[in-house]
Chains A and B, each alone.
Chain A
Amino acid sequence: MAATMIEKLLRRNTGVETAKAGDIVTANVDRVMIHDIFIPFVKDKFEEMGFTRLWDPDKVVLIYDHLVPASQLDDPRHHRIGDAFADKYGPIHVHRSDGICHQLMTEAGYVKPGDVVFGTDSHTTTYGCVGAFSSGIGYTEMASILGTGKLWVRVPETIRVIVDGTLPPNVSSKDIILRLIGDLTAAGASYCALEFSGSTVEEMTVASRMTMANMAIEAGAKCALFTPDEKTADYCGVALTEEMTALRGDEEAHYIRTIRYQADQLVPVMACPSQVDQIRPVAELEGREIDQVFIGSCTNGRLEDLMAAAAVLKGKKVAPFVKLIVTPASRKVYLDALENGTLDILAGAGAVITHPGCGLCCGRTGGILTDGERVVATNNRNFLGRMGTSKVEIYLASPASAAAAAAAGKIVLPPAF
């Protein structure tokens, strides 16, 4: 029977051979991620439910990233509660200052192709970059998984996105996903899986796929999926198996919609304030003066992103009135960028290099803006009030577009190297 990728994955996970879109199945959870903002609530619910032990401590990953290092007096309380939870119910995996949760889950090897993973964060869709089904949930459901190892899910319908051809040199996977969100709208993929394929996607690095999977939630999607290949296996540190490569939607499967892009026709775009689906070509926005640029986040804080920014900024200086904030997604990214000279170039151009973590993306630390200010940022949300007051204008862009804006002091097209 022809099936979409998510149908195949959930059939394998649940053993329900007939599972199809619309069915409700009970998934066996391979890994969970909890971050520092929600751990106190997860702990309370877990105990209120009467659980006394975790279903499988090895499958639980606790990551401190939103509140690291602490910037407000209440922040350390969350880490104390998290540490106490780990002591009482562990041993679980705890990362206290290693980077952003979504970066670490794949980078540190917690997620493998075909896995079912849930996290207390909406951008948990990111792990679809390695062919896992992963999605965000609330703290009550997380508590119930911690006790049972299971979660009911409705098998989602699938929207197939096929991208073929070669991207222009100043267009990145961020531009593709922004364009897609604009075309779908913020609710256009609600409750659906986004299944990506095509030669452009096959050519992409895992890091670039990660950017796209990360933002699937901005169109309402339940998950995003990329078929595992050699690059995936290499990134995950596993051998590529037939079981993995079989995770591919069948041509004859039922897709509720198919969207095709020709990569060479795509252009640099930005999401304009204050909705993720207000997408416009950068060419139409040129000349808008800016106050700040943020390059980082689980969307675009990886080595290739920092290198793309450095390529634009090499030999240049950030405009004197612009603050450029660069936040590597993890300690590993930080060290790699240090070693290959990327941080040298960025700092030399006038960037403030911050500690790895969520940083400015969640609006808690490191570059908060105020009324009337405008920022070009590489993260995933430009919601009202996300990075400061509700009168801050946030433009979401690729690292190259962000770096070009930092140098020019205004929105400009990134150079086509």
Chain B
Amino acid sequence: MGKIFRFHTDVDTDQIIASQYLLYPTVEEMKSHAFESLDADFAARVQPGDYVVAGENFGCGSSREQAPAVLKALGVRAVVAKSFARIFFRNAINIGLPVIVCKPLYDHVSQGEEMELSLDEGTVTVNGTVYPCTKLNPYMQTILNQGGLLASLNGGEESAWE
């Protein structure tokens, strides 16, 4: 179980991690500034295992991979949204951060509610209600299962490429 941090529609990458922090040498140094313009306390309050829930088009804007990376570094278990911008989506899978499309969830949950994610079942559960999620394409599922593209390439698996 983890807590829900709920954000709006069209959350862009500048809102996830602003450009002035991208020059910090490591993601560890950036992570305390995640979502700073939307919720200045986010990084202090989020606990490992918590979830980010959002509306449509989460992660639109820049190609900055630091956006999913700071969320992963803060221990966010998964981002569950109505839809994702494509570069954010690929980046998240490539670093092993689950990004889950769940159309019905967003309109029925609130900030702070407890949520459970089952990647195997492809569902999230909040307050006893089970919400079905959209499956990843097999290609991406393979990369995610192996812990990201780096792990996938280093694991000697050809599956990520052919």
Contacts and interface: CB of A to CB of B under 8 A. Distances in A.
Given A138-B63, A138-B87, A140-B148, 8 more contacts: A122-B87, A137-B87, A137-B90, A138-B91, A147-B153, A381-B14, A383-B12, A386-B19
Specify which of A138, A147, A186, A386 lies most central, judged by the most chain B CB atoms within 10 Å of its CB.
A138
B149 interface: yes
A75 B65 CA distance: 19
A144 B149 contact: yes
A45 B63 contact: no
A362 B63 contact: no
Given A136-B63, A144-B153, A222 B14 contact: no
B23 A74 contact: yes
Interface of B: 10, 12, 14-15, 18-20, 22-25, 37, 56-57, 60-66, 83, 85-87, 90-91, 94-95, 137, 139, 148-150, 153-154, 160-162
A141 B85 contact: no
B138 to A, nearest CB: 9
Given A138-B90, A138-B94, A220-B57, A384 B63 contact: no
B18 A385 contact: yes
B149 A141 contact: yes
B25 A40 contact: yes
Interface string A110-128: 0000000001111010000
Contacts of A220: 57, 60, 85-86
B60 A186 contact: yes
B37 A364 contact: no
Interface string A127-160: 0000000011111110010011010101000000
B37 A384 contact: yes
A241 interface: no
Nearest to A384: B37
Contacts of B57: 186-187, 190, 220
A36 B47 CA distance: 33
B19 A362 contact: yes
A152 B161 CA distance: 7
A191 B60 contact: no
Nearest to A22: B137
B65 to A, nearest CB: 3
A140 B95 contact: yes
A50 interface: yes
